[in-house]
């Protein structure tokens, strides 16, 4: 008898959760949301989606051309600002700009979306500066932007949405990208617990593979070649030219297998911003849900074997 009671109870809990998550927050037209990295990809699409729903979108772009293109495709409610998340002066200037626009109402939402992936390659091919370049954008910049806006978020009892990655659970390649996403996960977890008493909710978005400018194989392969050329002869001999070629081919293949439906990610971001009961984590993409998240719970020997199956073998290595 008790198994049926447990099943009914679980079903009721899931139904209650589903119902609560479907309830939107009120007065969307009064809420301001700042999104970083709106030149292209997820940030650009999210800005347009929120603008269409009547929110007051503050879109931070890196380039003038990206800002102009977004303004041309949006309503007059949407405002753009130039932001370099690696520059403290730029962050302080944007924080003051946001403060002027939101006033006593505060900032309802902050979406930390800006990010880069290049350079990405076997760790031995990279220098300290290669790691720092990615970490400064994906992690340190995200932290500084968040800290500069926390008083406004507390005032509105708003939302922080940090874009991590399934690579923040399972590191499949070298470079600063996976490291930075592990860091985003850790920062978001601590921030969520600290801000909960203030009524501020923090959510993590964990996308799988999507076809954005960040995953375009052309610059990735070009980057591999530049890194290869600067390697010492001993390192080149240890890996072998075939390793470089297979690494580049696998990058192209993964891009082709990635989803082109960016709305899977932006819909998760929208839910985190506008639901009365947002989730702490959102996995987006079939590969995230069916491959990488289950893989993150596997023992190391199993995950290493599965991931290693898709990696090329160095010339002086063993299969």
Cα 260 to Cα 22: distance, rounded to the nearest angstrom? 26
**Is 177 considered catalytic here?**
yes
Cα 32 to Cα 102: distance, rounded to the nearest angstrom? 7
Does residue 174 sit in helix, strand or coil?
coil
* DSSP conformation class of 169: T
Cα 202 to Cα 189: distance, rounded to the nearest angstrom? 8
Does residue 34 sit in helix, strand or coil?
strand
Closest CA to 165 of 287, 72, 59, 315: 287
Token pair belonging to 14? 């899931």
Length of the chain: 319
Computed on alpha carbons and rounded to an integer, the radius of gyration of the chain in Å comes to 21
Cα 36 to Cα 95: distance, rounded to the nearest angstrom? 12
H-helix segments, the chain? 2-21, 41-52, 64-72, 88-102, 128-135, 141-156, 176-195, 217-229, 233-239, 241-257, 263-274, 286-287, 293-296, 300-308
Full strand arrangement of the beta sheet holding 281-284: 79-82, 56-61, 32-35, 109-112, 159-163, 201-207, 281-284
Which of 4, 177, 247, 297 is an active site residue? 177
Catalytic positions: 177
């Amino acid at each position: 008898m008790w198994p049926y009671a447990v099943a009914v109870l679980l079903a009721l809990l899931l139904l209650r959760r589903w119902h609560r998550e479907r309830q939107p927050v009120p007065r969307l037209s009064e809420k301001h949301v700042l999104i970083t990295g709106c030149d292209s990809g997820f940030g650009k699409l999210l800005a347009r989606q929120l603008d269409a729903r009547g929110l007051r979108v503050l879109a931070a772009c890196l380039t003038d051309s990206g800002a102009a293109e977004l303004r041309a495709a949006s309503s007059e409610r949407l405002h753009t600002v130039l932001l370099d998340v690696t520059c403290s002066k730029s962050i302080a200037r944007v924080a003051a700009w946001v403060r002027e626009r939101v006033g006593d109402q505060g900032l309802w939402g902050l979406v930390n979306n800006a990010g880069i992936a290049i350079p990405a390659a076997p760790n031995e091919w990279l220098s300290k500066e290669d790691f720092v370049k990615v970490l400064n954008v994906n992690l340190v910049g995200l932290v500084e932007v968040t800290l500069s806006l926390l008083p406004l978020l507390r005032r509105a009892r708003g939302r922080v949405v940090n874009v991590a990655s399934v690579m923040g659970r399972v590191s499949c390649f070298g470079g600063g990208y996976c490291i930075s996403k592990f860091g985003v996960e850790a920062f978001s977890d601590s921030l969520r617990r600290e801000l909960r008493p203030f009524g501020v909710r923090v959510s993590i978005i964990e996308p799988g593979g999507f076809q954005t400018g960040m995953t375009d194989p052309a610059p990735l392969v070009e980057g591999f070649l530049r890194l290869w050329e600067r390697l010492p002869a001993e390192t080149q001999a240890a890996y072998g030219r075939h390793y470089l070629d297979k690494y580049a081919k696998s990058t192209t293949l993964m891009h082709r297998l990635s989803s082109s439906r960016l709305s899977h990610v932006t819909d998760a971001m929208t839910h985190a911003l506008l639901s009365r009961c947002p989730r702490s984590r959102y996995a987006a993409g079939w590969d995230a849900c069916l491959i990488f998240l289950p893989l993150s719970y596997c023992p190391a020997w199993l995950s290493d074997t599965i991931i290693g199956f898709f990696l090329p073998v160095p010339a002086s290595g063993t299969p």
